Amino acid sequence: MTFSIVGHGHDARGEAAWGVAVASKFLAVGNAVPAAVAGVGALATQADANVAWKGIGLSLLDEGATASVAVQRMIEEDDKRDHRQLGMVDGEGGAATYTGTACLDWAGGLAEDGPEGGGGVAIQGNVLAGPEVVDEMKRAWDAAAGEPLGRRLLAALAAGDAAGGDRRGRQSAALLVVSDGAGYAGLDDVAVDLRVDDHPDPVSELGRLLDLNDFYLTASTEDEKVPVTAELAAELDERARAAGHRDLAAWVGTENYEMRVAEDGSWIDRKVLDLLRGQH
């Protein structure tokens, strides 16, 4: 009842990243299917999903198991394995996928290890329009090589959706990407954690949310940072006061631009600077 892609790549900073994109005719699929920990790996559990596999799988990977070994151990110990589906990528980019024989047609997947240093991918789905869903997802994944992982996963998910996706229809989608230090203020590993729980076009809505996430919740790259001189600092405070705020820091906090302005005031993101100047 679901199609997903689990992958290893890099984030906008060039740091190693792991993630999952998933869509389904199922309410809040992001609550059940994806799991990931930076440096450890990522997985998707679906069909008659065994949600306990999320913790079990990540623990096996953390203990040193490869994706293929972890998947084999998990299905051997589950007496409902014929009804399960699982995709996994380990910390080194190794990939594995499993589809139980009792999963509803069309059901299947593919897995491909990445080159040394990352790039592994596992794609799987059940109750799909046909095998072309998985094929188109792989084609889009390959075509997006070099893109940040979140964008690459979303491109593959959109391609699967366009190829027919879940043959019962659309309802929800989710995207989870982790990378060391990529979270809010750099304090955790969650680079992207977006869920569209109930929507007529959830994959497109997920794309809109990713655009917002990239702006509000992703740290500026070095190329996006504008050094703040004494003259620019005076301008920024003046413009912030003209917008009704005490100073630039108050404007930044009100507009939720904390990830795009240096805490010590030494730089400001080019897009944020343009927004502030554009207000007046």
* 233 and 126 in a common domain: no
> Domain total for the chain?
2
Amino acid, single-letter form, for residue 5:
I
CA nearest 85: which of 68, 76, 97? 97
Structure tokens at 222: 């070095």
Task: State the sign of the Cα–Cα–Cα–Cα dihedral 109, 141, 260, 186.
Answer: positive
Render pLDDT for 59-91 as a digit per residue (tens, 0 to 9): 999 999 999 999 999 999 999 999 999 999 999
| Average pLDDT of span 24-29 | 98
Here the contacts of 106-114 (C-beta below 8 Å, separation 24 or greater) are 106/130, 106/131, 106/133, 106/167, 107/47, 108/134, 109/85, 109/134, 110/134, 110/138, 111/67, 111/87, 112/138, 114/8
97 pLDDT band, cuts 50/70/90, is very high
| CA pair distance 106, 275, nearest whole angstrom | 48
* 230 and 201 in a common domain: no
| CA pair distance 161, 207, nearest whole angstrom | 13
* 21 and 100 in a common domain: yes
What b/e string do you get for 27-62 counting C-beta neighbours within 10 Å, with b at 16 or more? eebbebbbbbbbebbbbbbbbbbbeebbebbbebbe
* 252 and 144 in a common domain: no
| Average pLDDT of span 206-212 | 97
* 247 and 172 in a common domain: no
* 113 and 17 in a common domain: yes
User: What does the radius of gyration of the chain's CA atoms come to, in whole angstroms?
Assistant: 21
- Note the pLDDT of residue 57: 98
- Note the pLDDT of residue 116: 65
| Average pLDDT of span 170-199 | 95
Distances 24 to 70, 88, 170 between C-alpha atoms, Å? 25, 18, 6
* 204 and 274 in a common domain: no
* 76 and 14 in a common domain: yes
| CA pair distance 50, 266, nearest whole angstrom | 48
Q: What percent of the chain is modeled with pLDDT above 70?
A: 98
| CA pair distance 186, 205, nearest whole angstrom | 26
* 117 and 234 in a common domain: no
CA nearest 108: which of 135, 79, 139? 135
100 is in which domain, residue-wise? Answer: 2-216
φ, ψ of residue 162 to 5 degrees: the values are: -65, -25
| CA pair distance 222, 243, nearest whole angstrom | 27
Render pLDDT for 222-272 as a digit per residue (tens, 0 to 9): 999 999 999 999 999 999 999 999 999 999 999 999 999 999 999 999 999
| CA pair distance 71, 61, nearest whole angstrom | 10
Amino acid, single-letter form, for residue 138:
K
CATH number of the domain at 9, please.
3.60.20.10
User: Where a domain ends, among 216, 243, 266?
Assistant: 216
28 pLDDT band, cuts 50/70/90, is very high
